[in-house]
């Protein structure tokens, strides 16, 4: 069962699910502070047998509530419900509680994804959430994903990548951008992005021939690997329709939080570093296409 096929179906239900998980996270944090922390920061020694008994009783009750909330939000056959048993929230240790908080954040993120996807179908006014040509998220929704990923990174550490791609047609040596882009190429790029990145990543069409991908929990090597897959697959996909005519691509990327510490700065950092994908990527299209992209 895919995430979008799971039982949650209305914005109201999703909002209630998010609120429930946030409340449960607050309860776990309160238990952690009451039973396993000394003062404001230092972990306590192992609790006494009596304290341990009460701690486990609290966590068993919380685990029961979490399981019910997962069943309501995702269904008993979902991967989220499976992970509830795998991580065992009733583990009454400091590490166990911290892992439980991280997992609950993941459940909230999954519900946020469902809400963002649903918004694309129930808010057609003003700027649409889903691009009608490529079926990718538009810039408005994409930036909401980026903001959510920033919040995740700030709480749990780690990094993520922003990959931008610019597509335009022209003959060899033609560097103009702004000419009419063939709609078939836009559709092809949308399909390539959806099939070349991981399921947890978020591809988007920004405007014209500009595309973007949010690469979750990624570093520079991950971004370069994703870029090579996208370009190689795009060359293969277009070879059958336009032959050896050049479809020029430019790319740029940025890594949060190393290259910038805010969304505007992250996009600005990337926009200042556009690089053209070498035309050598077209060589010998009848064989496996190689992507000659240097590392950043």
What is the spatial distance between Cα 160 and Cα 219, in angstroms, rounded to a whole number? 6
Residue 133 lies in a domain: no
Say if residue 14 is in the same domain as residue 118: yes
Residue 76 lies in a domain: yes
Number of domains present in the structure of the chain: 2
Say if residue 250 is in the same domain as residue 147: yes
**CATH number, domain containing residue 190:** 3.30.70.270
Say if residue 25 is in the same domain as residue 66: yes
Residue 127 lies in a domain: no
Residue 59 lies in a domain: yes
Q: Give the pLDDT score at 180.
A: 53
Say if residue 76 is in the same domain as residue 106: yes
Average pLDDT, the chain: 76
Say if residue 39 is in the same domain as residue 145: no
For residue 201, give both structure tokens.
Answer: 């990543």
Say if residue 200 is in the same domain as residue 244: yes
Say if residue 10 is in the same domain as residue 114: yes
- Where does a domain end: 69, 95, 122? 122
Say if residue 95 is in the same domain as residue 219: no
Q: Around Cβ 250, how many Cβ atoms within 10 Å? A: 17
Residue pLDDT, tens place only, 38-47: 544 444 454 4
Say if residue 179 is in the same domain as residue 116: no
What are the angstrom distances between the C-alpha of 228 and each of 86, 163, 173, 185, 215?
35, 11, 22, 18, 14
Q: Domain containing 106: what range? A: 3-122
Higher pLDDT, 157 or 188: 188
Q: Which helix (DSSP H) or strand (DSSP E) does residue 19 occupy? A: helix 11-36
What is the spatial distance between Cα 282 and Cα 290, in angstroms, rounded to a whole number? 8
Residue pLDDT, tens place only, 234-284: 988 888 766 666 788 999 999 999 999 899 999 999 999 999 998 754 444
- Where does a domain end: 74, 96, 122? 122
- What predicted TM-score, i.e. pTM, was given to this entire model? 0.59
Residue pLDDT, tens place only, 120-135: 655 444 456 788 888 8
Say if residue 143 is in the same domain as residue 267: yes
């Amino acid at each position: 069962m895919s995430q979008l096929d799971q039982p949650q179906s209305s914005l109201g239900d999703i909002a209630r699910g998010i609120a429930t998980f946030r409340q449960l996270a607050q309860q776990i944090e309160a238990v952690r502070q009451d039973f396993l922390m000394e003062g404001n920061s230092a972990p306590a020694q192992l609790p006494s047998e009596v304290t341990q008994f009460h701690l486990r009783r609290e966590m068993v009750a919380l685990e029961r509530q979490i399981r019910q909330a997962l069943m309501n939000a995702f269904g008993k056959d979902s991967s989220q419900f499976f992970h509830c048993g795998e991580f065992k929230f009733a583990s009454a240790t400091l590490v166990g509680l911290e892992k439980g908080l991280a997992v609950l954040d993941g459940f909230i993120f999954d519900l946020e994804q469902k809400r963002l996807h649903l918004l694309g179908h129930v808010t057609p006014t003003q700027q649409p959430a889903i691009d009608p040509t490529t079926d990718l998220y538009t810039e408005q929704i994409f930036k909401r994903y980026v903001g959510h990923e920033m919040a995740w990174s700030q709480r749990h550490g780690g990094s993520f990548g922003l990959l931008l791609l610019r597509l335009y047609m022209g003959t060899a040596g033609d560097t103009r951008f702004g000419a009419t882009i063939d709609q078939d190429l836009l559709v092809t790029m949308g399909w390539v992005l959806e099939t070349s990145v991981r399921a947890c990543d978020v591809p988007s069409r920004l405007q014209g021939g500009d595309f973007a991908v949010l690469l979750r929990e990624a570093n520079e090597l991950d971004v370069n690997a994703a870029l090579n897959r996208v370009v190689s697959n795009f060359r293969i996909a277009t070879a059958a329709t336009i032959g050896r005519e050049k479809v020029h691509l430019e790319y740029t990327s940025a890594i949060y939080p190393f290259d910038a510490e805010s969304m505007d700065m992250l996009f600005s950092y990337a926009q200042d570093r556009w690089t053209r994908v070498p035309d050598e990527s077209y060589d010998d299209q009848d064989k496996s296409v190689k992507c000659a992209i240097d590392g950043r």
